Structure 1
Amino acid sequence: MERYSEVVGLPVISADTGKKLGLVKDVIFCPKKKEIKGFMLERKGCEIYKRIIFLKDVLNVGRDALIIENGASIRKMHRSENNEELKEKGEIRGLKVYSKRGSDLGVVKDIVFDCKTGVVEGLEISDGLLQDIMKGRSLLPLFGKVEFSEENIIVEKEAVEEMTQTGGGLRRFFKIKAEGSDYIEKRLYKGSCNRKPDRSIGQYAYE
């Protein structure tokens, strides 16, 4: 699985020549199919066309680079062109998310998707900076009926019930820290119970 935030900014490398062919600027998302269709590259200088790589032409998306076969995988498209792959391009980050019952779930901060199929598996939801710090963000799975508009996303209650925490935030950090401290204290206490007086030197010695 990949995250939008991890893919944007990656260099695009040709497998044939090893040369850098550009940088990923954005993803192309189709709201109707809930799929990532491809990637948009940064424009060079005064280019009047968009440079696009469709998902089917991507060999691999790694941690440090997006690999394509060669420069022929990059499509040049003018704004006037009517391409079916781009027809339903939509922006998803920053949209408000509501349940069908009217509950405000937060704002989309990241997108989790399968780089092989393009299927968007979930949305990383922020409930505000303070909540992100304390609890971490929530991962909302995208199954069932999902309604997209230019401003909002409406999801079924089943998806809401399956929301999970991603990072855990400070609350999880301090919980782990506290559990670690308890473990150390228990080990020290157990060790102290196994000691007996060493009268020859006036110290305690372990058995």
Structure 2
Amino acid sequence: MIKLQSLIGLPVIDINTGNRVGKVRDIWFDEHWLLTGIVLEARRWISSDVQAIHWDNVIACGEDAVLISDTQAVVSLKAEDIIRCFHTGRIKLKDLPVITVEGLQLGRVTDVYFDQNKGTLIVGYELTDGFISDLREGRKWLRISDYPDEVALGEDTILVPVRAEQDLEHTTGP
């Protein structure tokens, strides 16, 4: 599994030439919160266009780089076309509250886990209750792939079944 935040800041390399085409700025999702692509850091300050790479063109995500099929995979999109991202865009996944259907908040999203080999589905969330709680107890990990039809990922909150509270696992500190 890959933690989404570990990709941010990595160089993006064309697998055919070895040339660097940019650096990962953010990860972009579609309206169903499926991984759609990578947003690259802007090269020009004035442009309203965003350089992005559709996820289909990502060959591998390693510790030190993201490899893409070729330079032609980089496309220009209007910023308003990229609505859902991890930490930029109009709708942000980072810091969304995760709440059970009975109204209990389990924490806020600090990171997202996905399995590159299994497609573009989010498989889990790393949650926080705040800095002090993270230091004392560690962050929490919720495997949402256990509830494929019971998670409602909205624009303002993520709703999960009541039993998700018992399934939370603690990780190490921040």
State TM-score, norm by structure 2. 0.85
- Structure 2 counterpart of 1:153, which letter? I
Residue ranges of structure 1 left out of the alignment (5+ in a row): 171-207
Shift of the 7–119 alpha-carbon distance from structure 1 to 2, 3 Å rule, reads same
* 2:65 aligned partner: 65
Does the aligned pair in 2 maintain the 1:136–1:166 contact within 8 Å? yes
Residue by residue over 1:101-148, the C-alpha shift from the partner in whole angstroms, topping out at 9 and shown as x without a partner, is 111211111101122311100010001111111111111121242223
* 1:133 aligned partner: 135
- Write the distance in 1 (CA, Å) between the matches of 2:72 and 2:131: 43
- Write the distance in 1 (CA, Å) between the matches of 2:126 and 2:95: 11
Query: What does 1:1-207 align with in structure 2 at a 5 Å threshold?
Result: 1-30=1-30, 32=32, 34-45=33-44, 46-79=46-79, 90-116=91-117, 117-142=119-144, 143=147, 144-167=149-172, 169=173
State TM-score, norm by structure 1. 0.72
Query: Which 4+ stretches in 1 moved above 6 angstroms?
Result: none
Shift of the 30–140 alpha-carbon distance from structure 1 to 2, 3 Å rule, reads farther
Residue ranges of structure 2 left out of the alignment (5+ in a row): 86-90
Give the 3-state SS of the residue equivalent to 2:92 in structure 1.
Answer: coil
The Cα shift of 1:151 comes to 2.3
Higher mean C-alpha deviation, range 44-53 or range 19-28? 44-53
Does the aligned pair in 2 maintain the 1:31–1:148 contact within 8 Å? no
Shift of the 3–104 alpha-carbon distance from structure 1 to 2, 3 Å rule, reads same
Percentage identity across paired residues of the two chains:
27
Higher mean C-alpha deviation, range 13-22 or range 70-79? 70-79
Give the 3-state SS of the residue equivalent to 2:76 in structure 1.
Answer: strand
- Write the distance in 2 (CA, Å) between the matches of 1:6 and 1:134: 23
- Write the distance in 1 (CA, Å) between the matches of 2:10 and 2:36: 17
Give the 3-state SS of the residue equivalent to 2:98 in structure 1.
Answer: strand
- Write the distance in 2 (CA, Å) between the matches of 1:78 and 1:31: 16
- Write the distance in 2 (CA, Å) between the matches of 1:129 and 1:115: 29
The Cα shift of 1:153 comes to 1.4
The structure with the largest alpha-carbon Rg is 1
- Structure 2 counterpart of 1:38, which letter? G
Tell me which protein shows more strand as a share of its residues: 2
Does the aligned pair in 2 maintain the 1:29–1:37 contact within 8 Å? yes
Task: Indicate the structure whose relative CO is greater, using CA pairs within 8 Å and at least 6 residues apart.
Answer: 2
- Write the distance in 2 (CA, Å) between the matches of 1:80 and 1:163: 35
Does the aligned pair in 2 maintain the 1:29–1:91 contact within 8 Å? no
Does the aligned pair in 2 maintain the 1:139–1:166 contact within 8 Å? yes
